[in-house]
Amino acid sequence: MPQPEPYRWIAKYYDHLFEFRRPFDTAHETIILPLLDQVTSACDLCCGTGTTALNFANLGIPTYAVDLSPEMCRQARAKARKTGLPLKVIQADMRNFKLPHPVDLITCEFDALNHVPRTSDLNRVLRSVHRSLNPGGHFVFDVNNLYAFQQIWNRTWVIDKDPVMMIMRSSHKPGTHKATAAVDWFIRHGKVWKRQHELVNEVCWDPQEMRDALTHAGFDKIRTWDAARFFNDALTLPGCRTFWRARRPPG
Ligand SMILES: C[S@@+](CC[C@H](N)C(=O)[O-])C[C@H]1O[C@@H](n2cnc3c(N)ncnc32)[C@H](O)[C@@H]1O
């Protein structure tokens, strides 16, 4: 059976519905800003609609943006065309993407790394990132932790913003490291509403497992920040989400 296109509907209405980039900008100030004077090229992995990649490009940094979803890539390309900024969008899987040239900084934001299902997939991502970085380059990402699945992934979210209404039912099966968001979309075409459905699956890793995986892939200078201090909201409790930064050693 053909697989549904990943992130088809979420991609189309992502910027329209999710206007909460501020915590990531705040996190960048602490985690990425101190590196920026050594960054001559960058890549945002799992770039979504390209917002972070375009922020780098806007600083004059030649940037790649990689995502598996054709619709996310379409959205990112359209935004890049509008701005005329130096952004090259590549449709690829984070487990085996290849860049035309290695870069100094790779980011992977908004729990995108939770989307690969197995530890072996996580290891493949980390190897691909390591290979795509220049020596001395950094990988910055954030992940949902088990505590987030336990605390937040048991709710129903409704966002109603014409012409779309989204109902997202998230669930976590106790005793597992897995969570699912079942998303129903109601999209208005004139007076007619059409319904679409998609599933987003996430898997989380223990912090020690992530640290070991990074070390095994060849990274050093591994640092973490709890996301609560950047989000500063009622949902992102301490322990829910972690920002990670790791370096490909120089030389
Ligand atoms: C939660 S969104 C985050 C998007 C963007 N990083 C942001 O901060 O808004 C997760 C993104 O990961 C992408 N994605 C999921 N699995 C992927 C894979 N195996 N390879 C590349 N991209 C993937 C999705 O298409 C989606 O754009």
Contact residues of ligand 1, CB 6 A cut-off: 6-7, 46-48, 67-69, 72, 93-94, 109-112, 115-116
CA 191 to ligand 1 center in whole angstroms: 32
Q: Mean pLDDT, to the nearest integer, of 178-199? A: 93
Of 67, 128, 139, the one to substitute when testing ligand 1's pocket (max ligand atoms within 8 A of C-beta) is 67
* Region 4-29 average pLDDT: 84
CB 75 within 8 A of CB 12: yes
> May I ask the CATH architecture of the domain 8-145+205-247?
3-Layer(aba) Sandwich (3.40)
* Residue of minimum CA distance from atom 17 in ligand 1: 68
What is the atom index within ligand 1 of the atom nearest the CA of 94? 20
Q: Give the residues across from 246 on adjacent strands.
A: 139
Is pLDDT above 50 for 69?
yes
* CA 111 to ligand 1 centroid distance, Å: 8
Using an 8 Å Cβ cutoff, are 181 and 236 in contact? no
Half-sphere exposure at residue 64, Cβ-oriented, CA atoms within 13 angstroms: 25
Q: Where are the domains of the chain?
A: 8-145+205-247, 149-202
- For the record, the structure tokens of 207 come out as 């912090």
Residue 64 has pLDDT above 90, yes or no: yes
pLDDT tens for 113-163 read: 999 999 999 999 999 999 999 999 999 999 999 999 999 999 999 999 999
Q: Which residues of 200-231 are buried (b: 16+ CB within 10 A; e: fewer)?
A: bebbbbeeeebbebbeebebeeeebbbbbebb
pLDDT above 80 (res 193): yes
Specify whether the CB–CB gap between 243 and 224 falls below 8 A.
Answer: yes
Q: Which atom of ligand 1 is nearest to the CA of 108?
A: 6
Choose the residue to mutate in 51, 115, 143 for probing ligand 1, maximizing ligand atoms within 8 Å of C-beta.
115
**Cβ–Cβ < 8 Å for 64, 42:** yes
**CA-121 nearest atom, ligand 1:** 19
Class of domain 149-202: mainly beta
Among 215, 207, 219, 31, which residue's Cα sits nearest to residue 131?
Answer: 219
Mean pLDDT of 189-213: 95
